[in-house]
Amino acid sequence: MLITVFAIHNYYGFVTAIFLFQLAPGPGTLAILHATARGGRRAGMGAVLGTLAGDLVYMLAAVSGLAALLAASPALFSAARWVGIAYLCRLGWNLLRAAADADAVGERAPGAGRSFRQAFAVGLTNPKVVIFFMAFFSLFMTPDTRPSTLAVMMAHVTLLCLLYQSGLVLVGDRLARRFSTTKRLRLLVTRLAGLAILSFGVRLAIDNR
């Protein structure tokens, strides 16, 4: 039986889907864990807010009709994707290089502001998210859905993602403190994060050809 709550069709399916999507790690998750490992909870929460801000931009774009514009303009959509791919590859390479520099002279931990900016930029690297939100929201709408319901859906996504990602920060911070004296492990985490983001960017480039 499908239940409608807050005018959201199949409400419990909507909430479950949000958590399931969060369980699939992406660049945003990597940015949060990396910031937490290097700068503690403040840096981690800065990254969380940056990730949520990036998602909010795309949710607003989706509900305002930007998704239709991108779908109708392949050249614009492709250009935006290539800009995002280039940024991802650059970020991944910089993380790999930063790990090497840290091995020699030590690396300054990022603050909350810097972590916010980096995570926000990561969140904006995949314009295809606009299409995703457009398709995702439509699954839980009916022909008589009002604009206010879309606002409630965006609020749900933001709040549930905030809860989940804040949990990532707490867990990541405890693990980082436990291994804070293991320099090689910290460098390994940095290199793995950089490699994962760089690989993700390369994969997007291959798919975008």
pLDDT at 160: 93
Tell me if 118 is assigned to some domain. yes
The Cα–Cα gap between 200 and 209 comes to 15
pLDDT in tens, the chain (209 residues): 456 677 788 888 888 888 877 776 677 887 888 888 778 889 899 999 999 999 998 888 887 765 565 556 667 666 766 776 787 788 778 777 765 554 444 445 568 888 898 889 888 877 667 777 877 787 787 767 777 888 898 999 999 999 999 998 988 777 766 554 455 655 666 677 677 777 877 876 776 66
For the record, the structure tokens of 129 come out as 């998210």
pLDDT at 159: 94
Tell me if 171 is assigned to some domain. yes
Which of 158, 149, 131, 135 is closest to 9 using CA atoms? 149
The Cα–Cα gap between 31 and 116 comes to 10
Q: Which domain holds residue 21?
A: 11-207
Which of 159, 155, 158, 151 is closest to 55 using CA atoms? 158
pLDDT at 171: 84
Which residues, in sequence order, are CB contacts of 157 under 8 Å at separation 6+? 18, 55, 59
The Cα–Cα gap between 150 and 44 comes to 29
Separation in Å, CA 8 to CA 20, 146, 160: 18, 10, 15
Tell me if 1 is assigned to some domain. no
Cβ(42)–Cβ(112) under 8 Å? yes
For the record, the structure tokens of 139 come out as 């699954």
Sole residue written with tokens 């859906």: 153
Indicate the number of domains in the chain. 1
If one counts every other C-beta atom within 10 angstroms of the C-beta of residue 114, the result is: 17
Q: How many helices (H) and strands (E) does the chain have?
A: 8, 0
pLDDT at 96: 76
Tell me if 147 is assigned to some domain. yes
Tell me if 181 is assigned to some domain. yes
For the record, the structure tokens of 44 come out as 């981690």
pLDDT at 11: 86
Tell me if 24 is assigned to some domain. yes
What is the SS3 assignment for 98?
helix
Tell me if 29 is assigned to some domain. yes
Identity of residue 134: M
Tell me if 86 is assigned to some domain. yes
pLDDT at 147: 77
